[in-house]
Chains A and B, each alone.
Chain A
Amino acid sequence: MSKQEDKNSFENLEYIESYLAGTLKSVEPPKDFSQRLRKRIRIPTREELVSRLRDWKRLYIIFGSVMAGMLMIITIARSLYYLFGHKKIV
């Protein structure tokens, strides 16, 4: 075996391995990290929110409900005006 091969053998690299073993040790995440992250990943992502906005059926229902509600309020307000407010003016 040549000197170069000997220098590059695993046996002669053991000192680096021992340094790596002392340096690359398992690090524990902060104690509350796991819980914080658990809460965080249950929050809908941006993509999910965008996909909800692209749900046309749901949007039509929401839009229709809002319009129906507004019409109902206007109708009730007008009828109350004709029943009570109109007489006072006359």
Chain B
Amino acid sequence: MPEKEYEETEVLKRASEGDRDAFGELYEHYIDRIFNYVYYRTGNTHDAEDLTARVFQRAMNHIHNYTDRGVPFSAWLYRIAHNLVANWHRDRSRKQEIPIHDVPVIKAQGNHPELSLVRSEEQEALLKLIRKLPPERQHLLILKFVENLSNSKIGQIMGRSEGAIKSLYHRTLLSLRDQADDQSLDLEGD
């Protein structure tokens, strides 16, 4: 749904006044994004579901405290999600692996099955590298590739300038390349 068609300011106002239907609209609008964010930060659907539920519970309990400071509402939700994911990582205190049945289903692109299997293994290895990055870099990659947002929009959500996002993105790519080299992960083979 395009941002302009979705009159968020009005919905937010009603939601912060205790209108549960308005909160329901926000919920419908953001649930997929928050689920994707949590999913890629945790690596499994079970915890992603649980944490997404907690994000919206917490949002609903504190929506009356929300004040519009010109920052997208999604930034507020992502901050809640970030805090819960950080707590989750701290509680587990061990590295999360993706169970084989939880590898995200990639939409068919007409590739040969054998080729797609090889790519999935490489993708899995890349996902592990991504999860070793600092949280803000993971967030940046999720916003850029999963949500296909521009640097400008990402900057609004992450509270940084467009230039800072571009620089962070470049450093993130360099870091991923170096880690892939260290682990002899062949990403240039295509």
Contacts and interface: CB of A to CB of B under 8 A. Distances in A.
Contact of A24 (B28, B105, B146): B146
A15 B190 contact: yes
A2 interface: no
A40 B51 CA distance: 12
A16 to B, nearest CB: 5
Contact of A25 (B28, B130, B146): B146
Interface in A8-51: 8, 10, 13, 15-30, 33-34, 37-38, 40-42, 45, 47-48
A29 B31 contact: yes
Contacts of B57: 40-41, 45
Contacts of B174: 8, 13
Contact of A15 (B32, B61, B105, B187): B187
Given A37-B31, A47-B61, A16 B36 contact: no
Given A16-B173, A25-B106, A45 B61 contact: yes
B187 A27 contact: no
Pairs A-B, 8 closest by C-beta atoms: A24-B145, A23-B123, A13-B173, A29-B35, A27-B104, A37-B53, A23-B126, A41-B57
Nearest to B32: A29
6 contacts: A16-B177, A29-B35, A29-B49, A37-B31, A38-B24, A45-B57
